[in-house]
Structure 1
């Protein structure tokens, strides 16, 4: 009798145990002249209900800051930058080295499902899907499947822009647009390159915003959507 009761208990336990949903892994690309640690502190302002649904990997950009950081006095150094650019943002230096470095990070911390980027990291993240699709970047890693863009914009240099945005970007994407962000108009223009982008508008400027009660359902539904996509892939 004892064995039968044990078997029944085991069967009950097996039946009621719910399989945890997979956590999509995001490589997180910080803003210009900040760091992975700074972006981590900024993102940790988000609700725990959001953070516990994702596996976030924070890395530093490959180049030490060559000038003053806008977060100096707010966040401690060191500060890094992904690549260098001219005043008009039409010429880039060390861009290919940057792309190779991101690919190395994706290999090291992979498999990576998506990218989360802020500012310079957001501009990179949004462009990388198109560059990967054209076979000019991230050729050694699986296809990027999801994007979270905070304070993003398009590249202006023609040879990069032509490859990055020539075809509609169809992966699920979530875009944060700040009401007083100096890049807001460019972030709106970036939306045109995406198929069915999801947008969260917030009242702040060029920053990682907090997730308020109005935005939280949008954020949770987006993550649940990509969780389901990751789960289907694993089946």
Structure 2
């Protein structure tokens, strides 16, 4: 009987693109370990380029062409839209319900895998699956790639992006941020939490600076936790040399908690 994973793409990705970007781990899990990986599309559509948190081009026509390309590829998608003032995550509840409904209809799942924005959502779902879907047992393993928690500066005068990019020490970072009010519960694993957490992040990730991933790591103090750091940027590592110990840990997590 194959083990099943639900896989959550990052910002501006579809399930198809995430499957391609994670081909290394996908092929090992499916071919060597007979796992089934279900890649789902983020449900929130980004309607226009103005909703993006960055500029596609200084030239208006070129920017429109690039955004049309994103639409054609079906990657104008996200799990939420972050707004800074005040700090909020638009469409988050809708996206969370979408994931839970998908798991309910297609599960149960042994594990969950997420990248970037999808990694944050994967952590949230893994932490709270018993509350969100009481009929579903805890995942055996959650693979969080370039993940992060929802934080805001403790000092309202501090700039969130500067904290993310200028602070490299995780203790200093933790002293300067709070979990965003209303979302704290999503990043607090229960005391009886038995899901194995595998965190993967890049030492040269500038999209999600690794201090954010290390801060998320600190929130799993009581969990079974394994961390793997690669020397790349904002990506899913695909080299076998890096992935082999990761997949061995995934397999160990699956085998140590057999279904009854």
Q: TM-score with structure 1 length normalisation?
A: 0.77
Q: What SS does the corresponding residue of 1:149 show, helix, strand or coil?
A: strand
Q: Which residue of 2 aligns with 1:225?
A: 252
Tell me what 1:147 maps to.
142
Aligned to 2:213: 187
| Secondary structure of 2:150's aligned partner | coil
Larger Rg: 1
Shift of residue 201, structure 1, vs aligned partner: 1.0
1: CA distance, partners of 2:84 / 2:41: 23
Structure 1 pair 75–196 and aligned structure 2 pair: CA distance change class (3 A) = farther
1:105-144 aligned within 5 A: 105-133=102-130, 135=131, 137-144=132-139
1:78 maps to which residue?
A: 74
* Cα distance, 1:50 vs structure 2: 3.7
Counterpart CA distance in 1 for 2:94 and 2:135 is: 15
Q: Secondary structure at the match of 2:136?
A: coil
Cα distance 1:23–1:173, how it changes in 2: closer, same or farther (>3 A)? farther
Contact 1:119 1:151 (C-alpha < 8 Å) held by counterparts: yes
Q: Is the 8 A contact 1:154 1:161 kept in 2?
A: no
Q: Which residue of 1 aligns with 2:231?
A: 203
Are 1:216 and 2:243 counterparts?
Answer: yes
Q: Helix, strand or coil: the match of 1:116?
A: strand
Q: Which residue of the partner structure matches residue 161 of structure 1?
A: 184
RMSD between aligned alpha carbons? Answer: 2.7
Task: Single out whichever of 48-57 and 183-192 deviates more from structure 2.
Answer: 48-57
Q: Give the 5 Å matches for 1:47-86.
A: 48-52=27-31, 53=33, 54-68=35-49, 77-79=73-75, 80-86=77-83
TM-score w.r.t. length of structure 2: 0.70
Unaligned runs of 5+ in 1: 1-21
Which residue number in structure 1 is paired with residue 92 of structure 2? 95
> C-alpha distance in 2, partners of 1:30/1:223?
19
| 2:126–2:142 contact (8 Å) kept in structure 1 | no
Between stretches 69-78 and 87-96, larger displacement belongs to 69-78
Task: Give the Å deviation of 1:47.
Answer: 7.3
Aligned length: 209
Conserved 8 A contact 1:23-1:227: no
